[in-house]
Structure 1
Amino acid sequence: MSLPGLSRSIVRAGLRVGAVACVAVAASVLPVPSSAADAGAGAEAVLGAEPRGLIDHAREHSPAYAADRAEAEAAQARIESAGALPDPRFELELMDFTNTMNGRSASLLPERVGETRYRVVQPLPGWGKRELDRQAAEARARQAGALRDAGWSERVAAIEAAWLRYYAADRELALARDALALMQELETLALARYRLGLLPQQAVLRAQREITEQRLQLLARERARSGAVAALNGLLSRRPDAPLAVPAEPGPLPDLRDAAERFERARSRNPEVMAAAEGVGLAHAERDRTRRERLPDFGIGLTHNRPDDGRSSWDLMFEVTIPLQQGSRRAREYEAERMLAAAQARREATADEAAGRLGAAWAAYTGGRDGLRLLRDSLVPQAAATRDAARSALAGGQVDFDSVLEAERQLIAVREQVLQAEIEARLALSEIEKLSGEIK
């Protein structure tokens, strides 16, 4: 067989292999219709187009948020019991149950002993202690609510970040398909010029190798998208392979200018800072309650005396505790003071940390937004023009095939760079909203 005939056989074989591989890739990438799967998808498939629906779903179905909400409700329910009086005590006293005084045998029956006393005692906390107990319970309830809100803010930010990764994976998959289509067009061009004797066989084989690499990249993007779907479903308490709708294009990036106001909100309205501030209130209440332990507690009792032989009578009793353990009381007061100082320092540290993280997120967003604008308005058109010019030059025989391949690669890389810059800017925006207390 002659060399040209051998070359044509190689090309035809390569085309057949490429067609088979393309079918295999399509079979692995595209979903296989299934009536059972379609029946199970139903209402679940509406989730995923935008993050708001995912957040609403998590609010209703997230076990972690349900636990935080139940803890906050439990702390709220403890307020009523905190200020209540202690339960009274009932005492039964059998005097001379051995019946020594009357010569009878011993007995545990109230009517067969020397004297029976029935006593009811009501403990009475010292002045103001019940009110301080109630204030401490209210502070705990406010802290539990603030911790619930802080946890929810973190979950919302995590859902938004996971959705952005899902959006990025979906768009990267689309870019990979577009890149494969570009390379296939380039292969067609190379084959046409090869048949005319204007390109060597190596150029055609090079184009087919690039197509194979793009197919491998396509498979990698599909795996990345499946992983992003599983991660997002995990945050929503859904099975990993639950269907998600195709993510919609998010709105335009806003032009943030109110930096001073957002930094002030980060130091005051950030959920973590608010939880730390409620911790200070709780520490204040615990310190006041500990100091009030210097005062005694009281008790009042009423006793009914039932003698075996004689008339019954009533006794009124009043008791008071004597706070003599000064060492342990001072230790508790010192502990309460230190806990208050720790809560105040923790609040300041949390506010400083929130402001620092906001500064980093602000810089990332403003820089990313400006870079994204430059990429979209300048670099993408330049790369597309370079690619078109390279193709035209190849048609006129002014450049070699490698120059066209390099131009195609640059265009693909620039499009991926634009997507990555957009995702980074949107992640920074989500962090800014979380730190400034805008997430609800």
Structure 2
Amino acid sequence: MDDSSAPSQPSSSSSSPTNHHSDAKGALQKDTQSHALASSGDASVSPTQAAHSSPSLHPEGQHLLPVDTPSNALTDSSDRSTLLAQARAFLTSPQVRSSDYTAKRAFLVDKGLRNDEIDVLLREMPLQTPAIPPRTYPAPLPSALPGLLLGVARVASWVAGCSVALLLVYFRFIYPRIAQTFHARLSLRRHQTGLLHRLTASLEQLKETRAETAAVLPRPELFRDARYGQCQTLDDVLSASTDVSENKETSKDEASGRNVPPETLLRCAIADVVKTEQKPTSEAIFVHLEGKMPWLREEDGLSFQELLWKTLSTSSLFRQEEIDGISTWSYVEPVLPPFPPLLISLHKLKHAFPEHPAQVPMGGRFQHTLQAMSDLTGYMSAQAFSSVRSAFQGDSQAEEIKREIRSLKSLVLNRRV
């Protein structure tokens, strides 16, 4: 076998190349002796060959062949074949089979074999698989469970300690303040609830009292325009105001409609806009008013326009309706409430009495002065005709009646005069 096919052994098979080489030599010497004895018995080796074979087993590593002599020249070929047979048996032995390739080769060279013979012998040897070293495993690591349990115990102790400290601080300092705040808010809410209940009870009582007294109290007087009640348009209102101003000689403001109630102006303006087949919107109403009364466009008319708008938007006589997304206004006729029973009875009593003839006024425009003078004369006459009372005379009911009669008598006499 050549060098490439020779089996190689790991470095752990021997401590050093020298020791391994010596071990291989000893094994080879032992095998050589055993094979020499076997070959002497089988091949009937001569005593000369047996004598010359013993020096080859010397531990010092002497050559297998002795020094050439004339007697050994005849048996050179047979010795050579014997030496090759011994070397082949040596290489096939179990002890040498696992030896180092270099040690085998060095030992065979020392025994006198040539390189070509050694290569042939090694090539004839069967291929040896390298010995598998024993499988070793690392030592198992120490268990981490005790350390883990210790860490968990430490963490649990720290958490428990911190929790106890936090609970102590909470119940000692924070919880009392929270409890006080909660109770204060609860008491405040109860107080507010009590006040609301009292207010609700008071409102219910007031509502009941108002419902009871509303029937007795007089109703508010509705708007009644006695002067312009018959007017239906703005032209009628302006003409009526002009006639009144001419009769009473009033100012120009009343003649221009400044003193006309805003309810009347708005009512007539809405009627005029409806007659023109337009929707009575706020813009159309004010445009119509400005057309009839130009003074509304002036600075003085702005305040009156504000009064008109306030009356239109707040008065119960005007109602706002939305038609097709357009806001329109309409006038609502006030419903007059029925007269109270007492007023109806008084009217009936008045009509039951006979009518007195109309008295002709005397004195004309000096009637008031004449009435005052007559009253003064009557008073003086009553005082003049009254009897003088003494200091010891006491007042009585009869004296009072007499004095009243005298006063009435003097007044009647003065009126006749």
**TM interval, short-chain normalised:** under 0.3
Q: What TM-score comes out, normalization by structure 2 length? A: 0.17
Greater fraction of residues in strand = 1
Q: Which has the higher contact order (CA 8 A, sep 6+)?
A: 1
Q: What TM-score comes out, normalization by structure 1 length? A: 0.17
